[in-house]
Structure 1
Amino acid sequence: MKIIAVTDDKMEHSQLLDTLLAIEPFIDAAILREKSKMDSEIIALIRQLIEAGFDSTKLIVHGRTNVASITGINKVQLPGYGEPLTLLKKKFPAISFGRSVHSYGEAETAYKEGADWILYGHLFETSSKVGLPPRGTNELFQIVESLPIPIYAIGGIQPHHLPQLNQGGVAGIAVMSSIFGSDNPEVATTAYKDANHVTTS
């Protein structure tokens, strides 16, 4: 399974840059989900990451297709709302798009509109979704069985959940709070990588 780190929009620029560079060897991708930052700040972050040796193929821009296009990043994670996916794919044919969904119906619609992958959540209780009941894995596994594109899971996922998700055919996990809310993001990320190695070996 792939391990995707999702930034939490709580770090200032230099701290975020340092953290991403530190965890890069242990992740398969990073979604830059910095909603409060301006496009110019995201562009500067991407360029600095690449200059510092971050593998650009691991970068996924959240929501801002124009930023991805300007910086040469070819993956965008779309929220469950916004510009129609069919229009985006016509406008930016070189970019692959994922869609965040919260139900089987939303996943099916995203697939029909041309999503290249789907991110489903939230699975378990998480500090970023206080008061919202977790969705668990049943519907997730139904989506995995029904749709022929990679399905990723997000929301409260801990290293001990990886065997269960791997058995369900999930393509990977996305982790936000457990990494970027940690006192030591590098150690936290390593725990997922080690659990994944045991699960898939």
Structure 2
Amino acid sequence: MEIWAVTNGRMGIPELVDVLLLVEPAIDAFILRETTKTDKEIVEAIRRLKEAGCDEEKIIVHNRPDIAVMTGIRRVQIPGYGLPLGQLKLQYPSLLFGRSVHSLAEAEMAYTHGADWLLYGHLFQTASKQGNVPRGTDELFRMVQAIPIPIYAIGGIRPEHLPLLEKSDLAGIALMSAIFSESTAEEAVAPYRDQLFRGKVESTWRK
């Protein structure tokens, strides 16, 4: 199961780049969700990451395929309110697109329109979604069984949730508050990695 990070737009570019470089070895990808940044700032962040040796295959641009093409990034995460996937796939055939979804019906539509992966949430109570009822895992598990592309979950996921999530064919989890609200992002990822490793060891032992 992969671990993705989703940035929260609260850091300046130098700090953001430093944190992402620090946490990169422990994560499989990160979505640059910097909605308050200018285009120039986002391009600058990607430039700094690449020049520092960051694996560019781990970088996913949020909602800006034009910036992805300009900076040589292959993956783009489109929010639920974003442009139609079919149109984007035609206009940017070299890119891979994920769609954020909030229901099985939305997921099925996104798959039909060519999504390469899906991001579903929010699963559990989280500070970034105060007042919104969590969706839980029932629909997520139905989605994973029904749709044959990678599906990732986001929203209030803690290390103790991983044994439940690993029972499905979920491709991975995405973390925002759990990483970027902590004093040290690198330390925040460690309990998730430890839990996943523990699950693999226990699975091998039972065989």
Please report the TM-score for the alignment, with normalisation by the length of structure 2. Answer: 0.95
Structure 2 gaps, min length 5:
202-207
Matches within 5 A, 1:102-113: 102-113=102-113
CA distance in 2, matches of 1:195, 1:14: 31
Root-mean-square deviation (Å): 0.8
Summarize the Cα distance change of 1:44–1:184 in structure 2 as closer, same or farther, 3 Å threshold.
same
Unaligned runs of 5+ in 1: none
Deviations 1:119-178 (CA, angstroms, capped at 9, x unpaired)? 000000000000000000000000000000001000000111111111021110000001
2: CA distance between counterparts of 1:124 and 1:19? 25
Kindly state the Cα deviation for residue 82 of structure 1 after the two structures are TM-superposed: 2.1
Question: What's the TM-score once normalised by structure 1's chain length?
Answer: 0.98
Higher alpha-carbon deviation: 184-193 or 109-118: 184-193
Bigger CA radius of gyration: 2
2:100 and 2:34 map into 1 onto residues whose CA distance is 16
Q: Provide the rounded CA distance (Å) in 2 between the counterparts of 1:157 and 1:127.
A: 11
Give the distance between the partners of 1:132 and 1:124, measured in 2 at CA. Answer: 10
Q: Give the secondary structure class of the aligned counterpart of 1:167.
A: coil
CA distance, structure 2, for counterparts of residue 134 and residue 4 of structure 1: 20
Instruction: Note the C-alpha offset of 1:200.
Output: 3.2
Distance, in Å, in 2 between the alignment partners of 1:2 and 1:154 is: 12
Q: What residue is the counterpart of 2:147 in the other structure?
A: 147
Q: Counterparts in 2 of 1:126-141, with a 5 A limit?
A: 126-141=126-141
1:9-88 pair list within 5 angstroms: 9-88=9-88
Distance, in Å, in 2 between the alignment partners of 1:197 and 1:46 is 30
Cα shift at 1:13: 1.2
1:158 alignment partner AA: R
Q: Percent identity?
A: 55
Letter in 2 for 1:69: V
